[in-house]
Structure 1
Amino acid sequence: HELVETLKVRIRQELAGELYKTQRDQIVKKTEFQENHVIAEFEGRLNKEGYKIVQLEAEEGDPPIMDILPLWKGEAVSFDDLQDKVASGEIDEQTWNQSRERYYLFIDEMKVLFERLAEARRVMEKDLQKLQVSYVSRPLHRLVQKLGRTFPEDGVKNWLASLEKDVENHLFLFLSDKPVDDGQGNPALIRYAVNVLVDHGKAPKLPVVFEHRPTASNLFGTLETRGDGETRPTFLAIRPGALHQASGGYLVLRAEDILAQEEAWPLLKQVLETRQVEIQVASGPFGPTSSLKPIPIEVNLKVIIVGTEGLYDFLIQEDRSFGRLFKISAEFDSVMPRTPLAMAEYLKFMDDTVKKRALLPLDPAGSAEILEYGVRLAEHRGKLSTRFSAIADLLSESSYWAAQLGLGVMNQQAVQRALEERKYLFSLPEEKMDEQVREGQILLAVTGTAVGVVNGLAILDRGSYSFGRPMRITATAAPGDDGIVNIEGEAGLSGEIHDKGVLILRGLLRSRFAQDFPLSLSASVGFEQSYSGVDGDSASSTEVFALLSAISGVPLRQDLAVSGSINQRGEIQPVGGITEKVEGFFYTCSKLGLTGTQGVIIPHWNIQNLVLNQDVQKAVREKRFHIYPVKTLEEALFLLTGKELGQIDPEGQYPEGTLGQIIVEKLALLRELAHPKEEAE
């Protein structure tokens, strides 16, 4: 790749010199002069005979069409017009016939003439190519020789020699301003590609490969085919399998996946016994789809199968070879209880890591900060994360920043700086989203009130980094029988769990507010300015609040954001990612301006999952930001509207003036407007 990129630049440089351009222009001008001379001579003879070459319009994308037309009184006319003049007596029949005969003779002559000109052009192109090669060959040879010294193997040298000749014959591929296609949907420069199956040369750690679909081709490699069933030419068809990629390290498989593969499971055991992988060639109805058969490749790896409890014992009993190949059974959890003993072991692990990696000393404040990070990873105040690699990485990063800051030890400042720098590396999408909110490109209000609008809280997960941000959820309601329309569902952006949450929303409305009459309305709920998939039920309570506001016309506070799942009984249920969601709304409010009234409504059961950073903790202590844990629909609605929902009396009615009464009356009105005749009867 580096050679090709260098050639793209170097070839253009070599052909950008004035001497080359002068010689190139001489060749081109010579050919063009001869062309112009021949064409001018032919056109002169045509004019003497009373004819003229004209260019006719062609369809878009087609080359122009050249034709010869007769001249009448100095103007070119078509033979149809000329025939009309014969009919009118302006031209006699004999002159007409003679003109047609000469036309066909000239057409034949013009075809021969253009073929000669095309041949002259081809000769010119060959001369230009020879000229280009004369300028490019020496620097090309030096670049290829340099690469050959890096890879002195005979096979590589032979390939480089053929590459050098091929580049000389295909210089036009490096000079085109637009990418050139090879006719099969690939860039033309792919002819110089090197099919590196696996490269762990620069990997800082042993490879760990997770294969979630362990078919024979995915595990052992294959010859890739196109959609039409044809394989790619030669070596470019070879694709490695997970066993190749994990060689030198570990391959992790789920037991339910690999055991479901009747073909792959026996072959995997064979590889573990022979330590050789043979790339599988797919078979068609008439045998193998390709004659290419790669030789077996030796691998050295450990295979880890992750399964349910008791599976290891079952396989030991049912499969005689399993116990010989898989001799170790281990059970792990991603978290552990935060007991005094566990914290002591955590501290010991930190000390061991500091010694092994020759890091700066860790003081008590730094240890406490890393312990808090372990709690944050566990997402539970009473637990610690067992992702020890993440803890070790944080120690290394903290040691680096302690040295950069001249601290001499890893203290709280160094650990916090490491976390800040880690966040900075992955925070570009976060910054862009904040910028869009500030500039008004993302519509979001954190003050005032609005009907049918709630600030929900979403998690944006980049894999190695996730952050929370508010997202406006809106609802509308009108008379009709369409029910509650899930806009994300209609657009194909809603996951199954989110769809379930919307169905629960319908059940909640019926059970709480439509006991005495059929629920009849046309309502919609949607995530505004959301253009990707939505799943999970953590916004189901938020959707309920937006819909109830749209039905009742009662505005909701925009300085509060909401996260929480809700059931048909109106109970607010815990959700995941609550820490990131709270922090996300806090930082959004901070950038738009904290008023002292802003805060978040979260499920009461998520209190144990809150592990907030120092900024949010300080703001909450100073009452500049608020966290409201709630257990029920009633508590959340009171915070959002300032109105009591009310309790249903034995007769199924809400007390006068309560929010519940307003919602019931509005639903009854929507029912009446949608079915006036039924109400009249």
Structure 2
Amino acid sequence: MSSSFFQERAFDWNELQPQLAVTEQPIHPLNFWALQPNAKNALALFLRNPNRPLMVLKADDQAEYAALLMSLIRQIQPKERTIFGVNYLVEQGDSFSFPHIEIEPAQSLADNFAASGEVLSALYCDQFQLFGNVKMHPRSQDIQLTPGLIHRANGGVLILSAATLLAQFDLWQRLKYILQSRRFDWHSSHPFKALPCEIPSYPLETKVIVLGNRTELATLGELEEDLYSFADYAEIESYLSVADVNEQENWAGFVREVAQELRLSLDFSAFNKLYQLLVRESESRFLISASPAKLKNMLLNAATLGQKNRLIADDFEQVFQQQTAQYGFLKEQTYADILNEQVYVATEGEIVGQINGLSVIEYPGTPVAFGEPSRISCIVQFGDGEVVDVERKNELAGNLHSKGMMIAQACLSNILDLPSQLPFSASLVFEQSYGEIDGDSASLAIFCVLVSALADLPLPQHIAITGAIDQFGLVHAVGGVNDKIEGFFSICQRRGLTGKQGVIIPATTIQQLSLSDEVVEAVKHGEFFIFPVEDIYQTCELIFQRDLLEEEGFYDESKTPIARLIQHRIESRSEPPKKGLLDFFRF
């Protein structure tokens, strides 16, 4: 295959990294809540509604968002300081009488259970911090009542964590009763010990916001089936849309706001590099992380590494390279095994029934995720139609992998118009794979290696492939495409780029692409290629240099369609065998 053939079908290097459409107009700072209108409006409605004491708010960075919530609530809440709560008057007992406690409305903030509508946050607390405590002196037996967060937030808002309520579910049961009854009743903290005396209850008007990620809120909803019958729900969106110019300008304004808080400034090129790095994390050019904590960390890392307050694109690139090296030990060991041929992955030549798939490797206990080529092989023998998935047989593959395998088999039968029971048996293996694999992103590679073995056509080893297919042969998007491409590129680069190496990916993954500068430069100079495909027909034309199905009209005898080659082999094997014992073992 010539270099011009590759260039005609490959992505242009300009398409491999996203670019902001924002021009170099002045970027005005924009606060976080301007990018979260749904959550902001829901919160304002919740605070104005006197009949809704509880809001469940989906939030991932709870510590960061709790502080932002407190600031927003203080802006929305009335400024006047109204006194809420009561004053407990304790008449201590003696050896002849019990203590006696009376209650009166709070007159000033100096009263023991007075509150001024504060906004409080406690992402971790126990029952005494939340509901207060009845303390008794060990010698004098004097009683002291201590207010908790629920009392101090009377007339205001209390922000709690769903994780705390799940870890101490009895807190939730009592909190639920308080919010629904709007009264606070004292209870003994000891299950077998009563309060030392009667303590009057009193009305409580505290609004509570429970923060949690989606998993925590799902668990809370399972334990409390009626949760959303008395609680409002809203989400702090994890990702921001940057699909158009206005949204990109808003995001850039938010970046500038955060940078100013950190006393940093950004060159215009830095915004684009920051956008590219965030696309790598979100795997979408239209959605990027909304996390202020993540953004602050990226800005501070760039400022610290560059030792300056004016940041440019190279500062963020240096942080990316430094973190790649910092997290790279396991990746380098994996690549070393391939380069030293402890794990065999061919990147040159052609082999029948063998293809390089692309996978993403994750190690538990580390933030490491990187791409690695996986050698997939197939041996075909004509038989009862069974396609043996060796990984699944040995319980090394998950259900999604098995689904992809069955789809590839069904797709091949449908397109080639074969009988319901395929007239061949095949054995498919992910060679030298010793851990569990899952996902359907190898189904396109499985289809191609099946076709290769059936048609006795060699597959180029300098091309790696990823993609999920359906039963009609359409190729669909997969995840981790940046890591997958860079993993195969790294192996090829270290062995020496030949100008023929590349990867085949689904055309729909173009919106996920945000490749490293190193890969982009190689593509720019024609040393590496990235091929988009929409279906199996384009894929077969690309890797086999011939059509999958026979089209009407004449065709070049040297380019016999793949379907005809397979059909000829099936027909030749369907005749009664007239071979010797040694020929029996040949395919």
TM-score above 0.5: yes
Written as runs of structure 1 = structure 2, the 5 A alignment for 1:589-628 is 589-628=492-531
**Aligned to 2:439, what secondary structure does the other structure show?**
coil
Deviations 1:345-386 (A, max 9, x none): 32222223223334x432222222112222332322233332
Written as runs of structure 1 = structure 2, the 5 A alignment for 1:222-233 is none
In structure 1, C-alpha distance between the alignment counterparts of 2:296 and 2:213, rounded to whole Å: 24
Asked if 1:414 is matched to 2:296, the reply is no
Return the match for 2:287 from 375, 383, 388.
383
Letter in 2 for 1:401: L
Written as runs of structure 1 = structure 2, the 5 A alignment for 1:331-350 is 331-350=236-255
Give the corresponding residue for 1:423. 324
Give the corresponding residue for 1:251. 162
Tell whether the 8 Å contact from 1:207 to 1:249 is kept in structure 2 after alignment.
no
Letter in 1 for 2:393: E
Asked if 1:369 is matched to 2:273, the reply is yes
Letter in 2 for 1:338: A
Question: For the structure 1 residues 319 and 457, does the alpha-carbon distance in structure 2 shift closer, same or farther, using more than 3 Å as the test?
Answer: closer
Asked if 1:475 is matched to 2:386, the reply is no
Asked if 1:396 is matched to 2:300, the reply is yes
In structure 1, C-alpha distance between the alignment counterparts of 2:521 and 2:188, rounded to whole Å: 58
In structure 2, C-alpha distance between the alignment counterparts of 1:579 and 1:550, rounded to whole Å: 29
Calculate the TM-score normalised by the size of structure 1.
0.52
In structure 1, C-alpha distance between the alignment counterparts of 2:297 and 2:572, rounded to whole Å: 61
The structure where helix makes up a greater share of residues is 1
Offset of residue 628 of structure 1: 0.9
In structure 2, C-alpha distance between the alignment counterparts of 1:249 and 1:430, rounded to whole Å: 40
In structure 1, C-alpha distance between the alignment counterparts of 2:187 and 2:256, rounded to whole Å: 41
Return the match for 1:357 from 262, 268, 272.
262
Offset of residue 461 of structure 1: 2.9
Give the corresponding residue for 1:437. 338
Question: For the structure 1 residues 615 and 674, does the alpha-carbon distance in structure 2 shift closer, same or farther, using more than 3 Å as the test?
Answer: farther
In structure 1, C-alpha distance between the alignment counterparts of 2:545 and 2:321, rounded to whole Å: 38
Give the corresponding residue for 2:109. none
Offset of residue 515 of structure 1: 3.0
Give the corresponding residue for 2:42. none
Question: For the structure 1 residues 454 and 342, does the alpha-carbon distance in structure 2 shift closer, same or farther, using more than 3 Å as the test?
Answer: same
Tell whether the 8 Å contact from 1:481 to 1:674 is kept in structure 2 after alignment.
no
Question: For the structure 1 residues 395 and 279, does the alpha-carbon distance in structure 2 shift closer, same or farther, using more than 3 Å as the test?
Answer: farther
**Aligned to 1:329, what secondary structure does the other structure show?**
strand
In structure 1, C-alpha distance between the alignment counterparts of 2:252 and 2:420, rounded to whole Å: 63
**Aligned to 1:665, what secondary structure does the other structure show?**
helix
Tell whether the 8 Å contact from 2:242 to 2:248 is kept in structure 1 after alignment.
no
Give the corresponding residue for 1:538. 441
Calculate the TM-score normalised by the size of structure 2.
0.60
The structure where strand makes up a greater share of residues is 2
Give the corresponding residue for 2:211. 304
Count of residue pairs brought into register by the alignment: 398
In structure 2, C-alpha distance between the alignment counterparts of 1:494 and 1:268, rounded to whole Å: 41
Give the corresponding residue for 1:50. none
| Structure ranking higher on relative contact order (CA contacts 8 Å, 6+ apart) | 2
Tell whether the 8 Å contact from 1:517 to 1:668 is kept in structure 2 after alignment.
no
Offset of residue 423 of structure 1: 1.8
Question: For the structure 1 residues 351 and 525, does the alpha-carbon distance in structure 2 shift closer, same or farther, using more than 3 Å as the test?
Answer: same
Deviations 1:112-139 (A, max 9, x none): xxxxxxxxxxxxxxxxxxxxxxxxxxxx
Tell whether the 8 Å contact from 1:520 to 1:670 is kept in structure 2 after alignment.
no
Written as runs of structure 1 = structure 2, the 5 A alignment for 1:38-187 is none
**Aligned to 2:265, what secondary structure does the other structure show?**
coil
In structure 2, C-alpha distance between the alignment counterparts of 1:670 and 1:387, rounded to whole Å: 61
Deviations 1:115-174 (A, max 9, x none): xxxxxxxxxxxxxxxxxxxxxxxxxxxxxxxxxxxxxxxxxxxxxxxxxxxxxxxxxxxx
Give the corresponding residue for 2:414. 511
Give the corresponding residue for 2:26. none
Give the corresponding residue for 1:44. none
Offset of residue 512 of structure 1: 2.2
Question: For the structure 1 residues 306 and 532, does the alpha-carbon distance in structure 2 shift closer, same or farther, using more than 3 Å as the test?
Answer: same
Tell whether the 8 Å contact from 1:206 to 1:249 is kept in structure 2 after alignment.
no
Tell whether the 8 Å contact from 2:550 to 2:564 is kept in structure 1 after alignment.
no
In structure 1, C-alpha distance between the alignment counterparts of 2:227 and 2:303, rounded to whole Å: 50
Question: For the structure 1 residues 354 and 207, does the alpha-carbon distance in structure 2 shift closer, same or farther, using more than 3 Å as the test?
Answer: closer
Tell whether the 8 Å contact from 1:563 to 1:601 is kept in structure 2 after alignment.
yes
Letter in 2 for 1:349: F
Offset of residue 492 of structure 1: 0.5
**Aligned to 2:530, what secondary structure does the other structure show?**
strand
Offset of residue 602 of structure 1: 0.9
Deviations 1:403-431 (A, max 9, x none): 0xxx5521112111111122222111111
Give the corresponding residue for 1:460. 361
Tell whether the 8 Å contact from 2:413 to 2:420 is kept in structure 1 after alignment.
no
In structure 2, C-alpha distance between the alignment counterparts of 1:550 and 1:342, rounded to whole Å: 50
Tell whether the 8 Å contact from 2:477 to 2:509 is kept in structure 1 after alignment.
yes
Question: For the structure 1 residues 427 and 473, does the alpha-carbon distance in structure 2 shift closer, same or farther, using more than 3 Å as the test?
Answer: same
Provide structure 2 residue ranges, at least 5 long, that are not aligned to the other structure: 1-60, 66-124, 128-158, 179-183, 192-207, 580-587
Question: For the structure 1 residues 519 and 205, does the alpha-carbon distance in structure 2 shift closer, same or farther, using more than 3 Å as the test?
Answer: closer
Question: For the structure 1 residues 321 and 409, does the alpha-carbon distance in structure 2 shift closer, same or farther, using more than 3 Å as the test?
Answer: closer
**Aligned to 1:628, what secondary structure does the other structure show?**
strand
In structure 2, C-alpha distance between the alignment counterparts of 1:549 and 1:448, rounded to whole Å: 15
Offset of residue 271 of structure 1: 5.6
Offset of residue 552 of structure 1: 1.7
Question: For the structure 1 residues 464 and 334, does the alpha-carbon distance in structure 2 shift closer, same or farther, using more than 3 Å as the test?
Answer: farther
In structure 2, C-alpha distance between the alignment counterparts of 1:511 and 1:278, rounded to whole Å: 69
Tell whether the 8 Å contact from 2:455 to 2:565 is kept in structure 1 after alignment.
yes
Offset of residue 387 of structure 1: 3.4
Letter in 2 for 1:614: D
Tell whether the 8 Å contact from 1:335 to 1:386 is kept in structure 2 after alignment.
yes
Q: Which has the larger radius of gyration?
A: 1
Deviations 1:306-346 (A, max 9, x none): 669x99xx99x9959974xx566335242413322322232
Return the match for 1:485 from 361, 366, 388.
388
Question: For the structure 1 residues 666 and 220, does the alpha-carbon distance in structure 2 shift closer, same or farther, using more than 3 Å as the test?
Answer: farther
In structure 1, C-alpha distance between the alignment counterparts of 2:521 and 2:354, rounded to whole Å: 29
Tell whether the 8 Å contact from 1:457 to 1:563 is kept in structure 2 after alignment.
yes
**Aligned to 1:646, what secondary structure does the other structure show?**
coil
Asked if 1:449 is matched to 2:350, the reply is yes
